[in-house]
Amino acid sequence: MYQRFYGLRELPFELTPNPRFVYFSRRHREALSNLQYGLFSAKPVTVLIGEGRIDQAAKRLSELQRKLSVDEYDALRRRVAVGWMKAGDLVRADSAVSRDSSVEGLALSGRIRLYQGDLRGAAELFQAAGLRLEAWRSDADRLFALVIGSPA
């Protein structure tokens, strides 16, 4: 019916997807590139986090925790925290890295505190991570501008 009406040479819909008709948007190409990198670099776990998939990534990460080294698990947990941070869920992001005492974990906790408006806490965490003021000054300046411009 479709073929004759629309002048198609083959059926447009099948039970299994036809790879000839796949469209790769920029985000699809980026995800495919990340997957290929994970496969070719023999990484034990490759994480793709998209909008609305952060909870699924966190759940899967907790399932894989026993199979990962501590460093691998912590690095992936930080990536999940960044996903929550970008989604605006700062409480969950903070709880994901609250016990992470690595330089990366402390710096990420500092960024989260900065976005929460806790400038003193952010400065302490950045200092504990060994970062200098210049490393986070642009974010702090933007936040100061927001705080000063906000009604009390």
CB atoms within 10 A of CB 117: 13
Over pLDDT 70: what percentage of the chain? Answer: 70
Rounded Cα distance, 48 and 90, in Å: 20
Go through 42-54 and write b for each residue having 16 or more CB atoms within 10 A of its CB, e for each that does not.
Answer: eeeeebebeeeeb
Rounded Cα distance, 150 and 79, in Å: 31
Is the pLDDT reported for residue 118 higher than 60? yes
Local confidence band at 112 (pLDDT 50, 70, 90 cut-offs):
very high
Per-residue model confidence (pLDDT) at position 152: 40
Per-residue model confidence (pLDDT) at position 48: 59
